[in-house]
Amino acid sequence: MTETRTHPNDPLLSLRDVRVTFRTADGLITPVDGVSFDIARGETLALVGESGCGKSLTALTILRLIEAPGRIEPGSRILFDRRDLLTVPDAELRSIRGRKAAMIFQEPMTALNPVYSAGEQIAEVVRTHTKASRSEAWTQAVAMLGAVGIPSPEIRAKQYPHQLSGGMRQRVMIAMALVLNPSLLIADEPTTALDVTIQAQLLDLLREAQQARGASMLLITHDLGVVAESAQRVAVMYAGQIVEEAPVVALFAAPQHPYTEGLMAAMPRAGSRRERLTTIPGTVPPPGAWPAACRFADRCRYAWSRCTTEAPPLHQLGDGRSSRCHLVDEPARRVAAHDMVGVTA
Amino acid sequence: MHALIQRLWHGLVVVAIVATATFVLVRLAPGDPFAAALENARLTPAIRAQWRAAYGLDGSVGTQYLHWISSLARGDLGFSTSTNQPVSRAIAQALPNTMLLMGTSVVIAFVLGTMLGALQASRRGGVADRGIGFVTLIGTALPDFWLALVVLLAGASWWRLFPVGGVADLLLPIGAPWHTVLLDHLRHLVLPVCTLVTLLVAPVARLQRIALLDRLGAEWIRTATAKGVAPRAVFRRHAWRTALGPVVTLAGLALPALFGGAVFIEHVFAWPGMGQLAASAVAARDYHLVVGCVLVGTVMVVAGSMLADTLLERLDPRVAHDEIMAARSAA
Amino acid sequence: MSEPRAQRQDWGGIMQRLRADPRSVLAASVLLGLAIVVVVGPMLLPHAAYEQLDITNLVHVRPGREHLLGTDAYSRDVLARVVSGGRVSLLFATSAVLVQTVIGIGWGLSAGLAGRRTETVMMRCVDAGMSVPRALLLLAMLAGVPQVPLWLLVLMMACTGWFVIARLVHGEVRAIRSAEFVLAARALGASRRRIALRHLMPHVLGPVLVSSTLAVGQIIVLEAGLSWLGIGVQAPRASWGNIIGDGTEFISSAPWVSIAPGICLVTVVLALSALGDGLRDALAPGQLPRT
């Protein structure tokens, strides 16, 4: 069933029914199961979820970075600037990677090559896509390092990743991604591995850089605080599926999906007088063990019989909101919240 | 710079320990060091006493040790009774031949080995990978002297392509044109080099393959692909380049075995290098010559290791001096 | 690497993994078969290793029904000599490895538990030992003594080969000595020796076993080389090395003398390498092998 979108007509990025399968010793699993969303030009979409929900994998599909034993199923479509990235020829894909769409990875210590200097790695992007000479590329690299807020960039450019602090390494990654002014940035948990103070700085940096260039950004994170800071719209992911989508303010004001509610309730809040943090009981099921029908049912405080027999579709709620929950059809059930029965801790 | 000084100091300490150990060895040897020379009736007791004095053998152990160390420092390694010349001169004549043989073999083996290992890694699981893997497995199990014999048999006896031994044809006329001389030298070099290369290529290729397969799973490979770098460049620049380090480490660690193996191979091919010298010195009970070979061999190994460490540092900037030491203990 | 745990090695699991690995099973079978042949062979074979059968007519007989591997220059049956030589070579290597392992473990443990200065001196000696080409060192040791009794040769071999194990053990001890369970044991008053024996040894035995297995192969080849040169195992006692040595002069006219023991050498070393690899994999499943 095609789900109509209420977005601007010409989104920069459009994922349609993206499905990723992995062949494991125990059989075929589908960690990304029918994910669809759009990102408009100049917009930041945050993709939120716990570890294991498939958000990082979704990010990797965009630039076709999934490798065996995983594969992107035919039937998935990823439209970037109206070109389907899943079917374009390799050469064209390579010209898009790093130049029109760039990725920022989570752990810069392992994502950066340890035997090349920071400057060399940034210059590599430039020389791969343009005819710049070594010195021109180097100059651009140094300039970019300065632009991302690294002091003494000429010196830092000659240093190796192990000589830089965590925050600086991530700035190098950001510089590498921004140097050719891509129109799409895919940031996979860019600040998760860093200190909270550095987190704030880097998120600001990303936001400013993005706005200055009018670029779009897909921001993967598990931290709702980051979402509030940086995104215009949010998509919440659970067990391989999008369960809710909404503009940021609306989401925080009134979450529709029980999972989103749970996530928000679990956020520690300053000034709150609660003694214990609320948690969502149970754990995220692994891709091979997803429940039939609604995948959140066994952890949901509102679940009833329909939830374990019929998989809820992603209902469109207008105003750019959607929710994958039967409560949309039967809102009366919401007040009848009950204690968890038969939920394993 | 600091690392270099530290390395030099470490090398010096090692050589000092070996010098001391060889002193003990020479002192422990039963019988007179001049026992072989004693058979020479021309030597009167007076001359023998003179030699003893010259070698400080009439002093206490302490003075003898100091004498030994100071001689070594001056480059005086004693007198070789079997070749009738100072040990240092005998070794100086033989060492270049060994260096020629080993230098050529090491360079060829490492170039070939890294290429084979890279080929295996890029076609993992395929026919080439398994075929080469099988050959290299056998290669690591071949005894050096036996392989030398087989190569000699094949090359000089069955196919009569190459000379039976030695470094050059002694019968070549003096005024022969340079290219004939060069060709002759090359012909003599082929068989021993083939033997050494076969022995060396195996472990190099195996290590390179493993190191490369390990690097291919690294995250920075994915980053490079995400930047739009073409697959071949990713393999070369990001995988292979980072996988050369372990091979260089191996080179440093294999040096002692290399010098040791040279003994047998030189003997088979009658190659007048240091290994051959040591082997014949043992038969003639020429302690000083053998010990001299041990010392020079050790110095060569230490020098080679320092070179390997320096190269490693250039290749992999992460490796600080301490890490080099740790890598050595791991292998 | 995660914090080392105080546990006994799971020998049961290790044996299980070994048995499941076809390469290790094959290697172990080959070695076992060889061991049986060299022990039992001399009793079953028609000819003795030292017997010079007929010094005029039976010199260098080609391999045939009467003499499966032919005869050598002294008209001795090559097969008998190879089997007898196998006994010597294998016994030699095993005993040398045992001695060198003991020395190495002792040195490494002591250095690891000693004070800083002693440790540095001890490990510098290990560095020195590792820098000397082993064959040259053995030559130097053998230069003084014309006819070396076999037990002395074993000792000499062991004295030149304990360095790698010492380095290995020392490394493991260093990695563990600040581990929590060791600190706990010391807090409870356990003496250094007790800690060494009860806690460190089990950790160390695995890698030591792997290293020693490979060392047997190295020593077999080294002893063969020295015997081939004439300074290792002395005639008339056979060792694979000196059989090859006997055959070297006649390599073109009677190659069978040298080729047979050579093939035995290659087979044994291959089997030992495979077993060593298998052991390494069994001890640390899932880890990428080091070399």
Which residue does chain C place closest to B215, by CA atoms? C288
**What is the sign, positive or negative, of the torsion defined by CA atoms of B104, B106, B112, B115?**
negative
**How far apart are the C-alpha atoms of C169 and B293, rounded to whole Å?**
30
Per-residue pLDDT tens for C69-101? 777 777 788 888 888 889 899 999 999 999 999
To probe the interface with C, which of B137, B324, B329 has the most C CB atoms within 10 Å?
B329
Which comes out higher in pLDDT, residue C189 or B252? Answer: B252
Query: Which tokens go with C258?
Result: 């040298």
Mean pLDDT (whole number) for B15-39? 71
Residue B124 covered by a domain: yes
**How far apart are the C-alpha atoms of C54 and C51, rounded to whole Å?**
9
List chains adjacent to chain B, taking adjacency as at least 3 C-beta pairs closer than 8 Å: A, C
Task: Report the candidate in A193, A250, A253, A242 with the shortest Cα–Cα distance to residue A218.
Answer: A242
Per-residue pLDDT tens for C201-243? 777 888 899 899 999 999 999 999 999 888 888 877 888 998 8
- Identify the DSSP state of B315: H
Residue B209 covered by a domain: yes
Residue C39 covered by a domain: no
Q: Which of A107, A113, A128 sits opposite B228 (nearest CB)?
A: A128
**What is the sign, positive or negative, of the torsion defined by CA atoms of A253, A256, A257, A258?**
positive
Query: A83 — phi, psi (to 5°)?
Result: -105, 135
The pLDDT score that the predictor gives to residue C291 is: 29
**How far apart are the C-alpha atoms of B24 and C111, rounded to whole Å?**
23
Q: Which of B10, B282, B301 sits opposite C143 (nearest CB)?
A: B282
**How far apart are the C-alpha atoms of B64 and A242, rounded to whole Å?**
85
- Looking at the complex, does the CB of residue A63 fall below 8 Å from at least one CB of chain B? yes
Which comes out higher in pLDDT, residue C55 or B214? Answer: B214
**What is the sign, positive or negative, of the torsion defined by CA atoms of B324, B326, B327, C1?**
negative
Q: Do B282 and C142 touch (CB under 8 A)?
A: yes
Residue B52 covered by a domain: no
CB under 8 Å to A175, separation ≥6 — which residues?
A: A122, A141, A144, A145, A147, A148, A150
**How far apart are the C-alpha atoms of A145 and A141, rounded to whole Å?**
6
CA–CA min distance A63, chain B (Å): 7
Binned at pLDDT 50, 70 and 90, residue C57 comes out as low
Which residue does chain B place closest to A63, by CA atoms? B226
Helices (H) and strands (E) in chain A, counts: 12, 13
Q: Do A102 and B238 touch (CB under 8 A)?
A: no
**How far apart are the C-alpha atoms of B137 and C271, rounded to whole Å?**
11
Cα of B64 vs its chain's centroid, Å: 31
- Identify the DSSP state of B235: I
Do the beta carbons of residue A161 and residue A109 sit within 8 Å?
A: yes
**How far apart are the C-alpha atoms of C254 and C61, rounded to whole Å?**
8
Burial call A214-253: b when 16+ CB within 10 Å, e when fewer: ebbbbbbbbbbebbebbbbbbbbbbbbbbbbbbebebbbe
Residues of C in contact with B287 (CB under 8 A): 140, 143-144
Average pLDDT value over all residues in chain C: 82
Which residue does chain B place closest to C240, by CA atoms? B146
Task: Report the candidate in B300, B248, B282 with the shortest Cα–Cα distance to residue B98.
Answer: B300
CA dist list (Å): B304 to B7, B246, B299, B309, C81: 12, 16, 8, 9, 41
Q: Tell me the average confidence (pLDDT) per consecutive run of 10 residues in chain A, 345 residues long.
A: 52 92 87 91 91 89 89 90 90 93 91 92 94 93 93 93 90 94 93 84 88 92 85 92 92 89 79 69 81 85 86 87 88 66 36
- Looking at the complex, does the CB of residue A94 fall below 8 Å from at least one CB of chain B? yes
Binned at pLDDT 50, 70 and 90, residue C58 comes out as low
Q: Do C244 and B146 touch (CB under 8 A)?
A: yes
CA–CA min distance B279, chain C (Å): 7
**E strand segments, chain B:** 79-80, 85-86
- Looking at the complex, does the CB of residue A64 fall below 8 Å from at least one CB of chain B? no
Which residue does chain B place closest to C272, by CA atoms? B141
- The radius of gyration of chain A from alpha carbons, rounded to an integer in Å, stands at 21
Q: Do B256 and C132 touch (CB under 8 A)?
A: yes
List chains adjacent to chain C, taking adjacency as at least 3 C-beta pairs closer than 8 Å: B
CATH of the domain at B263: 1.10.3720.10
- Show the domain range for C145: 70-277
Cβ atoms < 10 Å from Cβ of A189: 20
Q: Do B257 and C131 touch (CB under 8 A)?
A: no
Residue C14 covered by a domain: no
Residues of B in contact with A129 (CB under 8 A): 228
Q: Do A110 and B238 touch (CB under 8 A)?
A: no
Tell me which residues of chain C, numbers 196 to 255, contact chain B at a CB-CB cutoff of 8 Å: 217, 221, 224-225, 228-231, 244, 248, 251-252, 255
The vertex-A187 CA angle with A186 and A190, nearest 5°, equals: 170
**How far apart are the C-alpha atoms of A267 and A221, rounded to whole Å?**
14
Taking the CA of residue C95 as centre, how many other CA atoms within 13 Å lie in the half-sphere pointing to its CB? 13
Cα of B45 vs its chain's centroid, Å: 41
SS3 A227: helix
Amino acid symbol at A8: P
Instruction: Answer whether C touches B (≥3 Cβ pairs < 8 Å).
Output: yes
SS3 A63: coil
Q: Indicate if the pLDDT at residue C128 is higher than 80.
A: yes
Q: What stretches of chain C show up as alpha helix (H) in DSSP?
A: 11-20, 22-44, 78-113, 116-131, 134-144, 150-159, 163-177, 180-187, 192-195, 201-229, 240-248, 256-283
Q: Cβ-count burial of B321 within 10 angstroms (0-12 exposed, 13-18 middle, 19+ buried)?
A: middle
Q: Do C132 and B264 touch (CB under 8 A)?
A: no
The pLDDT score that the predictor gives to residue A306 is: 87
Q: Which of C145, C230, C262 sits opposite B30 (nearest CB)?
A: C145
Cβ atoms < 10 Å from Cβ of A279: 10
CATH of the domain at C238: 1.10.3720.10
Query: Which tokens go with A88?
Result: 């374009």
Amino acid symbol at B39: E
CA dist list (Å): A106 to A31, A175, A188, A292, C118: 19, 14, 6, 32, 45
Binned at pLDDT 50, 70 and 90, residue C1 comes out as very low
Residue B143 covered by a domain: yes
Q: Indicate if the pLDDT at residue B35 is higher than 70.
A: no
The pLDDT score that the predictor gives to residue C181 is: 65
CA dist list (Å): B261 to B191, B196, C14: 15, 9, 35
The pLDDT score that the predictor gives to residue B34 is: 53
B115's enclosing H/E stretch is helix B87-122
Residue C92 covered by a domain: yes
Which comes out higher in pLDDT, residue C183 or C140? Answer: C140
The pLDDT score that the predictor gives to residue C290 is: 33
Residues of B in contact with C156 (CB under 8 A): none
Q: Cβ-count burial of A50 within 10 angstroms (0-12 exposed, 13-18 middle, 19+ buried)?
A: middle
B42's enclosing H/E stretch is none
CA dist list (Å): B11 to A88, B70, C42: 58, 18, 50
Query: Which tokens go with C149?
Result: 């009794």
- Show the domain range for B170: 89-330
Residue C57 covered by a domain: no
Number of domains in chain B: 1
The pLDDT score that the predictor gives to residue C103 is: 95
The pLDDT score that the predictor gives to residue C6 is: 46
- If you average pLDDT over each of C8-12, C188-192, C240-244, which comes out highest? C240-244
Number of domains in chain C: 1
Residue C289 covered by a domain: no
Residues of B in contact with C145 (CB under 8 A): 29-30
Do the beta carbons of residue C120 and residue C98 sit within 8 Å?
A: no
Instruction: Classify strands A184-188 and A101-104 as parallel, antiparallel or unpaired.
Output: parallel
CA–CA min distance B171, chain C (Å): 23
The pLDDT score that the predictor gives to residue C20 is: 81
- Looking at the complex, does the CB of residue C13 fall below 8 Å from at least one CB of chain B? no
Residues of C in contact with B263 (CB under 8 A): 135-136, 139, 225
**How far apart are the C-alpha atoms of A314 and A317, rounded to whole Å?**
9
**How far apart are the C-alpha atoms of C124 and C137, rounded to whole Å?**
18
The vertex-C110 CA angle with C108 and C111, nearest 5°, equals: 65
- The residues that bridge with A187 in the sheet, in sequence order, are A104, A219
Residue C209 covered by a domain: yes
Residues of A in contact with B315 (CB under 8 A): 115
Q: Indicate if the pLDDT at residue B292 is higher than 80.
A: yes
CA–CA min distance B176, chain C (Å): 32
Residues of B in contact with A105 (CB under 8 A): 219, 222-223, 226
Query: B11 — phi, psi (to 5°)?
Result: -60, -40
Query: A24 — phi, psi (to 5°)?
Result: -115, 175
Q: Which of B229, B241, B242 sits opposite A124 (nearest CB)?
A: B229
